[in-house]
Structure 1
């Protein structure tokens, strides 16, 4: 296998693990928020609020994990939402449309915020890849510098020993010339 294929498989596994971790976090947080209402605040307290507490969880999910995590968070929040019964005399369609407004808002917020987050994640991945390439290039340049330094040292040593040998040869030749004369 090529190095590129191994990296994409590893990245896919890491991405799946991150998604599962985010998903478990969202579900646990939603269950905690759901359990807090009857335990600490009283049944039906969230219905009196102008903004449902699940908003925080859905926005956190989309901000942390992107579109898919945000959509799953919105879906789980919708399932856990306290759905009030239809009051007598209210049209069934109007009742369910009114109830669906908040979950649809959660879904839209998850998609919009998640899209921005995924754009950031793509840029972070590109920067990490660029950084890895630059680190590899720097290591290659450092290795090349070390190789060239070693080559220069060898050439200098060779030049120095050749100069000494040449000087000894000249001295020996001068002696021979001096003895012959």
Structure 2
């Protein structure tokens, strides 16, 4: 489950949306990684992807009630999404190592090298793989990307414009 937190800066009065956890748009990739761990097959190859997905979705009544054309469209769209989501480096890591554990969450960041008055929040996926040989991979963002901080009492978040814990919590909803 993901959480959308709305906050407004007490200093500059700008409002921002911060996403934490696993929002709905990341769930398919989390499921993909779970299937990758279970199957230990290269799911970036179409035939493997289709075989594993059909097997995994065998008991999903909503999927099984669809026509073959609808199933193929769903599989094709999901395959394209997976191909676009993972970088070449991530695909190589997944296909050349035995994946034991994967973590995928959303976290808010902003670029500190932007002009402060134009800074905005980007809710980016945090991705980590742990492999059987003890090695790991973690998705990295540029050196000018700053991860939003949250106060101990969780009432304040970093305002990207002011670059301090001055954005006061307003509300939160599940996403």
TM-score after normalising by structure 2: 0.26
Structure with bigger helix share is: 1
Higher relative contact order (CA 8 A, sep 6+): 2
TM-score after normalising by structure 1: 0.25
Name the larger-Rg structure.
1
Structure with bigger strand share is: 2
